[in-house]
Structure 1
Amino acid sequence: MRLYHVPGTRSTRVVWLLEEIGAPYELTIMRREERQTPEHRQRHPLGRVPVLEDEDGFVFESAALCLHLADLHPEAQLIPPLGTHERALVYQWTVFAMTELEPAIIEARRGDDPARAQAGAEHFQAAAQAVEQALEGHGYLVGDRFSVADLVCGAVLIFGKSAGLTDNLPDITGYLARLEARPARTRATKIGA
């Protein structure tokens, strides 16, 4: 399998997952401007990364790729069995990260519109309280075991941390320290940097 990757983008979370799994993969590191080439737009209609290529074709979207790869590698134990409550919680937190946390962070980082930035920061704080509550007394989001939900949600929260949005969130601060200390994350952030 081959991953098309631009360092410092959402594709880094897929590299992190691949490093957690330990399965062999090929990496094509692209420059940002290469994403809009006709060749890459055949892989992703909007010319974005990440894109995973396997023998069946192309798949894109970072959260979808992380869930898919966790399914393909059950030996890594990054996703609970189908049909379980824990599996539903992994879906919940993965989708929550992409629909509630990440858009709010993007808005909060808007330097061109202070009102929208403030609204984004407020929405982030409200959404982050749900994560704080889930982490209270727990090391991870689902079943006290690192999962794909932690990887996706953690990657998004690390993005928020870089904007100073998590400074007042003690459970998230400790959580991110645990995630950032994972050897696979360290390797992923150095690839192509």
Structure 2
Amino acid sequence: MDVNPNLSDKARYDYALVLRATKENDEKAYAELMQRYRDSIFHLINKMVFSSDDADDLTMETFSKAFQRLEQYTPAYAFSTWLFKIGSNHTIDFIRKKRIKALSLDQGFRNEDGDSMEIHVADDGLDPFESLEKKERKERMHDVVSELKPKYRRLVEMRYFEEKSYDEISEELGLPLGTVKAQLFRARDMLERVLGSVRETI
């Protein structure tokens, strides 16, 4: 696969990590990619949703989506550009589904490689059936979560059903904060597989 000769050294290093992750299934490469861009993705998303808790969740979901599609990345442009696009699109979907008012980001932003990107988010107003649909989705999600291993199931229940913060979960379970976040990331990955063909209805 041809590599864009204009890529920065940083972008080339990212591509080397991508190759290690996809060709060798190197978990350390996945972890390093996440470490390199987690804060930047969080900052982008937090500007869009005005909630650190939602931004935390969306950041983890962005990496989950990116890692599932990692073989689709091509070095014609920087990995960070590709990742930021996934993050912004995923967050826009979240905003539209929640019908929340968001800051207009029409002025755009630049990723760490200096590439300019624009984000346009429309406010769709309130859906009169939203609360009913949310309840039905939550009931179906309970069924799916029950398929997880006990330690992951408890984390998901605390985070999404009991709506506890990462810090509260860490304190209650006696786990380091980083471990809580890592295991929730793993739990979400498992949920993606369990959901399978019914994921669009949840």
Q: TM-score normalized by structure 1?
A: 0.28
Identify, as 1 or 2, the structure richer in helix.
2
Larger Rg: 2
Greater RCO, 1 or 2 (C-alpha within 8 Å, sep 6+): 1
